[in-house]
Amino acid sequence: MAARVLPRSFYARPTVEVARGLLGQRLEFRGRGGRIVEVEAYLPEGDEAAHAWRGRTARTEVLFGPPGCAYVFLAYGMHCCLNVVAEPEGTPGCVLIRAVEGWGDGPGKLTRALGITLEQNGWDLLHSPLRILAAPAARRESITVTPRIGIRRSAQLPLRFVLES
């Protein structure tokens, strides 16, 4: 039978649960894709490193929209970073996709390899060429938790999740 996309209800949960749940799922875009093996959670509250920390602005608008949509932003003026909007609509949590199996590590390298750009910002992962297909959930014991990479504020929080081979 054909693979199916993860349902809206999967994303409408606490950000950390969505982050853990995304490990092992399959991200696809225009014929390219693979298993998600590294993610980071950016919380809707108390997280100074999250873009939503500064409030609702033009850039962060999609974070406040429906869960299950893509939030893409430009980092350092040259790299696009792909996030998945989590939490119920109105609550700005999101999960940064840092690595997809077979396409290299690093959020910037990943989007470049898959051809994801700012054009995909706001796209619905349930009804667009950019989608996440359901796969067996990662075993809890196969997930390593560490602090997030490349941030200064709230750098001590254990919000990076890596799926070990």
Partner DNA sequence: GTCACGATTTGT
Partner DNA sequence: CAAATCGTGACG
Footprint on this chain of DNA (rule: CB under 7 A): 40, 42, 49-52, 54-55, 57-60, 71, 73-79, 81, 83, 94, 96, 105-110, 148-153
Compare residues 4 and 54 and give the one whose CB is closer to DNA: 54
CB of 5 to DNA, least distance (A): 22
Buried residues in 128-151 as b, exposed as e (16+ CB within 10 A) = eebbbeeeeebeeeebeeeebeeb
Nearer to DNA, 101 or 134 (CB): 101
Cα–Cα distance measured from residue 69 to residue 162, given in angstroms and rounded to the nearest whole number: 22
> In angstroms, what is the minimal distance from the CB of 55 to DNA?
7
The nearest distance, CB 129 to DNA, in angstroms, is 21
CB-nearer residue toward DNA: 24 or 92: 92
Q: How far is the CB of 46 from DNA (least distance, A)?
A: 14
Q: Decide whether 83 or 91 has the Cβ nearer to DNA.
A: 83
> Least separation, in Å, of the C-beta of 109 and DNA?
4
Is the CB of 32 or the CB of 134 nearer to DNA?
Answer: 32
